[in-house]
Amino acid sequence: MALVQLTISALPAHVRTARLMATAVARRAGIAESALDEIRLAVGEACSRAVEAHRVHCPSRPIQLDLVDSSGGPRGGDAPADTPADRASHNGRAAQRFEVVVFDRAPAKEPTAAFDNPDAGVDLDADTSLNGISGLSPDVGLAVIVGLADEVSIEPHEDGTVVRMSWPLGKADPEAESVG
Amino acid sequence: MDLKLDHHTQDDTEIVVVEGEIDVYTAPRLRELLIDLVNKGNFHLVVNMEKVEFLDSTGLGVLVGGLKRVRAHDGTLDLVCTQERILKIFRITGLTKVFGIYDSVQEAIDKRKSK
């Protein structure tokens, strides 16, 4: 088990920092090149969502990312046995996986309807949001994460949301590994 | 890299050339450019994304917002993109059915004129 932790202020500029960090740690962990783009995008979506939520509810509080290489890394494996990464592991199934956990502190709403209805995020015919920043529901970001990550769990709580995403290590095709 | 934006007129179409990363930090600049172009009467837009290195759902939202604006004037907003890594997010979100996505600026212009 090897862990990299990153704490960022809720600023849009730092979403890129988180993407770069996650991609670098994933590459070192041995993630296939073909999956690095997926990790970059999924981490960006999770952090964008967290930053937007914090800016509304708690702009002064930071957002935390845990980047967990459950194999200990191809060149290492010398991480302490008892690390904070233990709480980010995934029911003991985290062996040989790269996991990213994004913790935000903004009170969660109902998770999303975007997963059940693929058309829910796009409302081109609506006239009401012509002045809004986008025509997409914020839940589209979560739907993208679900589409990209090999395993995902989104746990909304009153005091924040935990988004866990993971990918198998050393596989060219993330779908090649049969999972639960 | 950061986001670099440029635009020029080709035939009767305004070509927006986007280079770099479109995310929650940079997308507002693209949004402002699209709004400005529409407000100045450009209702046929082609966004050339061949040099885009990263696009997330915030960027998609800005493109959808631009599409809504031009459609309000019976206009069009088409995309030029051949990069698989960028096309993937359009597929995941189903937006390949919403946007015209072409291999070149000329193809985008020709297809619109032939409709």
Say whether residue A37 is in contact with chain B using an 8 A CB cutoff.
yes
User: Where is pLDDT greater, at A107 or A19?
Assistant: A19
What CATH number is given to the structural domain containing A48? Answer: 3.30.565.10
A151 to chain B, any CB pair closer than 8 A? The answer is: no
CB-based contact, A73 to chain B, within 8 Å = no
Is the ipTM beyond the 0.90 threshold?
Answer: no
CATH code: domain of residue B31: 3.30.750.24
**A134·B60 Cβ contact <8 A:** yes
Integer Cα distance of A88 and A147 in angstroms: 21
What is the span of the domain harbouring residue B96?
Answer: 4-114
Residue A23 lies in a domain: yes
Does residue A131 fall inside a structural domain? no
Assess if residue A126 is contained within a domain: no
pLDDT at A136: 74
Confirm whether A158 is domain-assigned. yes
Q: Which of A40-54, A90-104, A146-160, B31-45 has the lowest mean pLDDT?
A: A90-104
Q: Does B3 lie at the interface with A, CB-CB under 8 angstroms?
A: no
Question: Which of A15, A118, A140 is the closest to B24 by Cβ?
Answer: A15
Name the residue type at position B39: N
Contact B88 A12 (CB under 8 A): no
| pLDDT higher than 90, residue A118 | no
Report pLDDT for B1.
65
- Averaged pLDDT, A93-121: 69
Domain span at A36: 2-110+138-173
Q: What total number of domains does chain A contain?
A: 1
